Amino acid sequence: MADIAPAAKIIDGKVYAERLREQVAREVTRLRADYNLQPGLAVVLVGDDAASQIYVRSKGEHSLAVGMHSVTHRLPADVSQVELLRLVGELNADPAIHGILVQLPLPKGFDEQAVIAAISPDKDVDGLHVVNAGRLANGVPALTPCTPLGCMIMLREAVGDLSGLRAVVVGRSVLVGRPIAQLLLQADCTVTIAHSRTRDLPAVCREADILVAAVGRPRMIRGDWIKPGAAVIDVGINRVPFDDPIKAAAGRTKVVGDVHYKEASQVAGWITPVPGGVGLMTVAVLLQNTVTAAKRIAGLD
């Protein structure tokens, strides 16, 4: 990778997501024709958070578009945890449902870990259950968190063979940082997990052939932190005021990543934009995970 001339190739999340959805749709068609099996996804939304409603609607629309059975359960914010857990139990027992996703974050007062733990690991298409985390850590088949898996799909298709490359993951969350580190290890990368308290973080980042930014700080990673020719995967989604003072004064915001895109794109070999990169892959991978769960439950995978 050191021989690659700087001038970043854009890893377009829209292209990869469309391609993956097409693959999922073909597999759903095959499963229905050959095995009378229609993968089913149930999404549970508690409360009326605007962003969560948008995400849930998108998941429902995309699952229907690829031919899946799709169910959305909308519960009021004041529903009890007992009632929520009862619904999860019913979905666990429903043979038409192969994937269960409880939209996070839940309103205050809920024990999110208890809710995640109540989901059958075989239907945990978010990949957050401790059983799936353990399976991933042991290198055995698991339902893997959607965002990290989407990152790996894009990396493999854009960069090619990852074996032997040095990867640095900035961020240690159970949602992204830790699972993508496990996936990179399985791809035979040499992996470092860094974070906001890592000493001389810029120097650590400059060692990376693959740099994954998932720290949740807008434009934290600057261009001079990046090794020339590296592949940069920006998982960050941060809202910041517009640079234009008139727009900023009006309270308008824009979405930026954890990487300073303008600087980094002059140095990196490949880079994901924000928006338009990793985020678009997440729902597509959710669909793929649901198909995977359906096949495993039916004994086909």
**Spatial distance between the Cα atoms of 200 and 181, rounded to a whole number of angstroms:** 20
Biggest CA-to-CA distance, the chain? 59
- Identify which of 294, 277, 283 has the alpha carbon closest to the alpha carbon of residue 60: 283
Instruction: Let me know: does 214 contact 177? Beta carbons within 8 Å.
Output: yes
Separation between Cα atoms, residue 74 and residue 183, nearest integer Å: 33
3-state secondary structure of 197: coil
- As a whole number of angstroms, the distance between CA 268 and CA 261 comes to 10
Q: Could you list the mean pLDDT of each consecutive 10-residue stretch along the chain, which spans 301 residues?
A: 62 96 98 98 92 86 96 95 98 98 93 97 97 95 96 96 98 95 97 94 98 95 97 93 78 90 96 93 96 97 71
CATH 3.40.50.10860 boundaries in the chain: 37-120
Q: What pLDDT sits at residue 204?
A: 98
Asked if residue 102 lies in contact with residue 270, where contact means CB atoms within 8 angstroms, the answer is no
At the top level of CATH, the class of 145-280 is alpha beta
Q: Helix 130-137 to helix 177-186 angle, to the nearest 10 degrees?
A: 30
Within 10 angstroms of residue 5's Cβ, the number of other Cβ atoms is: 7
pLDDT of residue 131: 97
Concatenate the DSSP letters of all residues of 52-96 into one string: HHHHHHHHHHHHHHTT-EEEEEEE-TT--HHHHHHHHHHHHH-TT
Two tokens, residue 124: 């945990």
Q: Which helix (H) or strand (E) holds 212?
A: strand 210-213
pLDDT of residue 231: 98
Q: What residues does CATH 3.40.50.720 cover in the chain?
A: 145-280
**CA-to-CA separations, 24 to 19, 290, 291, 300, in angstroms, rounded:** 9, 10, 7, 16
Q: What is the DSSP letter of 216?
A: -
- Look at residues 56, 57, 107 and name the one whose alpha carbon lies nearest to residue 84: 107
Q: For residue 253, how many other CB atoms are within 10 A of its CB?
A: 12
Helix (H, G, I), strand (E, B) or coil at 15: helix
Give the pTM.
0.90
- H and E: helices and strands count for the chain: 11, 11
Distance CA 66, CA 49 (A): 26
For domain 37-120, the CATH architecture is 3-Layer(aba) Sandwich (3.40)
The structure tokens listed for 3 are 């021989």
| pLDDT score of 19 | 96
Catalytic positions, written as ranges: 59, 103, 126
For residue 268 the two structure tokens come to: 């990196």
Distance, CA of 207 to CA of 229 (rounded, Å): 11
Token pair for residue 227? 């090794």
